[in-house]
Amino acid sequence: MHKTMWLLTILLMALSAPALAQSGQPSLTDIARQTRQEQKPTVTITDDDFPSANAGSGTVAHPAEGAQPSSSAPAADKKKDDSNAGPQAKKPDDVAELKKKLASYKQERDVWKQSADQYEQKLAKETSQFRRDVYQEALENDRKNVVLYQARINKIETQIADAESSSSKANGAGTSSNQASSTNGPRP
């Protein structure tokens, strides 16, 4: 009996030693809570955060009257806001910017066309049904992107034509008003 008491005491001490060692360390849940509290808030980025997404929609956000443009605004938007000296001074910059966008959109459209062509070739050669399905889905998505970029190209081309016609009308109106003022000058 005396011997079993000693054995139980030793066994109890041996089993309680790891429990005592763990009590000094924080638990996994405590570490997880602390990590969540220390984490910075996550930022969700949407298409509205990029200037190219706004350019595709054709709308440009302007600051409210009297408000200063934010320092995080894209440089292109600042250039537009700073060049509001007159409509004639603004038109060449807009046309040049539109032409840059047009070239960019054409390049993107051509890349999507090449990708679609590659998927058509892969689809023609592939025997595995799973891969054929994957290629077909990718091909359809690439074709949708080609159509999307073509619509953007058409919209930009229309905007360029409108800007050029309005600038030519403004130039024509300016020269005719100068001619009218010279012919209708003071009479003796």
The DSSP symbol for 48 reads G
Calculate the CA dihedral of residues 168, 171, 174, 179 and round it to 10 degrees.
-90
pLDDT, averaged across the chain: 73
Give the model confidence (pLDDT) of 41-71 as tens digits. 677 777 777 775 444 444 444 444 444 444 4
129-149 pLDDT, tens per residue? Answer: 999 999 999 999 999 999 999
Q: Is the pTM of this model over 0.85?
A: no
Dihedral sign from CA coordinates of 83, 85, 86, 89: negative
Residue of 90 and 97 predicted with greater confidence: 97
- pLDDT of amino acid 20: 66
pLDDT, position 80: 44
- Whole-number pLDDT of residue 84: 43
